[in-house]
Structure formats: C-alpha cells, structure tokens
Amino acid sequence: MKFEHTKVEGFEPAVRGMRNALASWAKSDSHYGDFGKYIIGENDIDLAQRLIKAGSPDRKFMRQIQVWVDITAPEYWWSQYDTYKVATVANSTSKMHKLASTPITKSCFELDDYDGALETDDACVGIETEIFLNFLENLRQKYLETKNKRYWKELVRWLPEGWLQTRTVSLNYETLRSMYFQRRHHKLTELNVA
C-alpha cells in the first residue's frame, strides 16, 4: 500500500470558524509563520481538543479541514474503505479502460506480507502463483489479439482481491477520525493502525 501526494487545506478557516459560536476570535493565537505556513497556537489547540472530546456536533470544524491523497491499495482494502461514503470522493484508475494496457505480473498485486510457503501447504494445494499469473496474462494477451470482450470479461472475473488500484481520494478530518476509531483493531493489517 502507498499513500502519495497528500495535500491538507483549510486549517485557517476551520480554526477561525470554531471560535464563531462564542465569538471568541480575540482568544485565537494561530498565525501564519515563515513561508506562509499556518501555525496553530496553544489556545486554539486547547479549544480544538475540547471540542473534539465534546462530540461530533461540537467538532464540526474538523469537517472543514480537507485532505487529498493518492492511495494505491488492494481491492480488499478498497472494499473496507468504501463503507465510508459520507464526505468522501474518489477518482480511480480504470479497469474498464486500462486493465489490458500493461502485463500482469506480481507487481500488480499487494504482496507486502505475502507468505509463499502457503502455496505448498496441504490446505492450499493447487494454488500456484506463477500458473495463475500466466492464466491472467494469457487472457489479457488474447483480448489484445482478438479484441473479443469475452476475454476481457473473464480477466475481470478472475482478478483476485489483491489487485492494486490507485485512487485520488478527497475527505475531511472528521471522516478520517471516524475511520481510525472504527477500524483501528481490524483483522486486516492494512486497516489495523492501533
């Protein structure tokens, strides 16, 4: 899994806005420092922490801090991510248009904690990575040669959950917080961040 090109925006208006309820703008000690970097002051950090602890209705300033990031993750991770459709947007690489454009190799799959010894385990007889990759690559080649969509459809059908896909994701700090606390003890290592 990879996280790249992360961009976070909205700290200044979110911090200013969190003081609107009590008109406490004069207590704000955040400011722009060198190179236009926004520095959150101790008073504002203290208020933000109190609002976060008070619950979702009071920490709405977090919904004003936006995050964009390119995530390359396996299909099984995206299935879990997709349970968070509130306040998220994603543009993904397209299987429809690009699946057949590059050879299918091990690098197309999430293998960070792959255990090749399982291929010879009695419980996994018949699972041979190279044979399966060749099967997928042959389907891809047949599609390219014939342009017959049956081959493409079979390729899509047999693609395993470890297939990597990149999405540019847009979400906010409140959604990130929710994702963290709901999934921090998940059995998928990619979701377990505790």
pTM: 0.81
Query: Domain residue spans in the chain?
Result: 2-64, 93-164
Q: What is the pLDDT along the chain (194 residues), one digit of tens a residue?
A: 899 999 999 999 999 999 999 999 999 999 999 999 999 999 999 999 999 999 999 999 999 999 999 999 999 889 888 887 677 888 888 887 888 999 999 898 888 877 776 666 665 545 678 888 999 999 999 999 999 999 999 999 999 889 999 999 999 999 999 888 887 777 776 655 54
Sheet containing strand 2-9, strands side by side: 2-9, 66-74, 164-172, 89-92
